[in-house]
Structure 1
Amino acid sequence: MSNNRTSDLYATDLTTAVWRKASTSGGEGNCVEIAELPGGARAVRDSKNPGRGPLRLTATEWAAFREGVVAGQL
């Protein structure tokens, strides 16, 4: 699996994924958790609702998302 396509990412089993909280998460429970996936892809979920399906991003999508956050566009 190349993880270059979003459909490939949703076929990835996340049962052994290691989730970490974003460093900017506050103490109010408004936390985003991120798991690294093969090929530089990421899975992102809400820590208050970890059972809900996470958003999965290819490496290219993740880079664009981060760039938008850093630039204050998101």
Structure 2
Amino acid sequence: MERLALERSYRRAIYRVRLESATLDLRVGELAPELDGWLAARGAARWGFITAVNPGSSPLPEAENRRRLARLEARL
């Protein structure tokens, strides 16, 4: 996939975060004040996210993505 098309795909993607009392949808390039507030209340000043899904922007089958994500979660 060419670089601009890949960037557009990342910007359109929704990254879902589950908190104790809410689920938030994050997007690349957009602020997340609700998540910032939730983390600040717990003493965190910065955040980021990592994933094991579709490494190197190469699509994998759903089952493989689930296996990789489970391994990442186990290591964290």
State TM-score, norm by structure 2. Answer: 0.32
Q: Which has the higher strand share?
A: 1
Higher relative helix content: 2
> Which one has a bigger Cα radius of gyration?
2
